[in-house]
Structure 1
């Protein structure tokens, strides 16, 4: 579960990227985030993945307050998240399936389970038929 409870993020010199945002996302729910440039989409994802901390309110991920997490706890939080930024960080020498499979393998999933999860993730976003495509062949828009 992800919960924003009156969360805000302010960057110096006083620019509000997010102000008093509240919502909940249930476990297993697939969510897309859209909006114009500067609307706070990337900031929202950075707060969820603990790349940044809120300057006000609270961001809870699986019951953990991201704003008070120790650095050593952040990798464990991220193991249960799937976040894709617009400027996706893909390995260009690996196909779509291999890019999705790699973090599962690194996280220690058994090979059969990692493959199953990677295919399920690709299917969920409509890319299962393109799983062997190289990143250069996938649209970024």
Structure 2
């Protein structure tokens, strides 16, 4: 359907979406191919914010069930609960990239749920300089978020 250059352009745009949401403390939490639409100009549109939450504004989603269970959702990350939210969309983004076949054998792995988990994120597959720049941008943003939380 899309050639390699088009898929890379879509992947870069999706990266920007995750970074933008992160700047506003919004975690989508359902970031997957089924929730991404592509318009005629190859611009991805993220849909279905049913499970989205905000770390800075818990009222972003008015669904009582989500608000009532927010503490339970946070506990999924144990002592690293805030970090867990940031990795939620980031790891999902890696799965979307794999579905786009940016790297046919792409696998994102996180070895341990520590605060420095960004350093342990590894891509297995062919390297692509343009894609690497996008991935580095995402990781740098997440590292800065984690660093700011420590202070």
TM-score (norm 1): 0.27
Structure showing the higher strand proportion among its residues? 1
TM-score (norm 2): 0.26
- Higher RCO, 1 vs 2 (CA within 8 Å, ≥6 residues apart): 2
